[in-house]
Amino acid sequence: MGMKLYDETIRACRKLLEEAGARALPLGDGGWPDVSDRSMILRSDMAYELGSGQLPAVGATIVTANEALVPADALSLIGSDLPEIRQDSPYARVALVRVREDTLGEGEKLYRAIRELEYTRYHFYPEGFMMRVSAANQKESVRIGREALSRGLDFTKTGNRMISAFHKNPAVKAVSLTYVTEQEFDYRALLGYVKEAEEITKTIDHILKNVMMDCTACSLQKVCDEVEGLRELHFSNKE
């Protein structure tokens, strides 16, 4: 039951990305090097930053077990690729991750598994592509190294690296990864879906902690009412 929770959000995300004209990038590891850990890209070594300052900078990892929603690995792009970008630009990364239904379990195990998949972004270090995550205001920006760019860094290389990083988790069956740099894209709508998914995740945690069993007084009641599966989780937890 656990993995239907985000399906409506994923449907809405997919529709938004498809209508914006996502184009497919090739799959397959181009052998781009990883750096051992978070090697810094200083301002002086940077070509530009995606999602800098007040520009949109949205990162999302949303989980499902529904094969129809994420049939197979896929990589796509809306907007300009890294070599075509000349200055700081808006940015979004959307990873829709399909997992095996039986691997995530219920309750605490479910919550931990979802967070673990989200944390994949902290274990991913392609050379010249430095992610900077601010969980507090849900921003995810990227510094692009000038030197790596001159050697051919693009979204095909970094995207395939990220898909491989997700597949290190044995629960993962398929990843549909989309990058967005298009100026006119509706980043606000996307951010709305990301926040919706985060509310659902927080509600799972909230239910587990049994913080409050009086539904009428709970601030997350609206989320619980709207999302299929949360109510069952809630009441199976009560017994």
- Letter string b/e over residues 35-47, b meaning 16 or more CB atoms within 10 A of that residue's CB: beeeeebeeeebb
Question: Which tokens is 85 given?
Answer: 């970008």
At 233 the pLDDT is: 62
Which residues have CB under 8 Å from 149's CB, separation 6+?
47, 82, 83, 128
Q: What angle do CA 178, 100, 226 make, to 5 degrees?
A: 70
8 A C-beta contact, residue 75 and residue 116: no
Q: Computed from CA positions of residues 237, 106, 140, 43, in that sequence, does the dihedral angle turn out positive or negative?
A: positive
Classify domain 2-186 by CATH architecture.
2-Layer Sandwich (3.30)
- At 57, the amino acid letter reads A
Convert 108-150 into a string of H (helix), E (strand) and C (coil): HHHHHHHHHHHHHHHHCCECCEEEEEECCCCEEEEEEEHHHHH
Backbone angles phi, psi at 175, to 5 degrees: -130, 125
Question: Which tokens is 207 given?
Answer: 């239910």
8 A C-beta contact, residue 108 and residue 209: no
Of residues 74, 49, 69, 224, the one with CA closest to residue 132: 49
In angstroms, the first-to-last Cα distance of the chain is: 17
pLDDT mean for each 10 residues of the chain (239 residues): 79 96 91 78 94 95 93 98 97 96 73 86 88 82 96 96 93 97 97 92 75 58 64 57
State the pTM of this model.
0.87
8 A C-beta contact, residue 210 and residue 233: no
Distance CA 172, CA 37 (A): 23
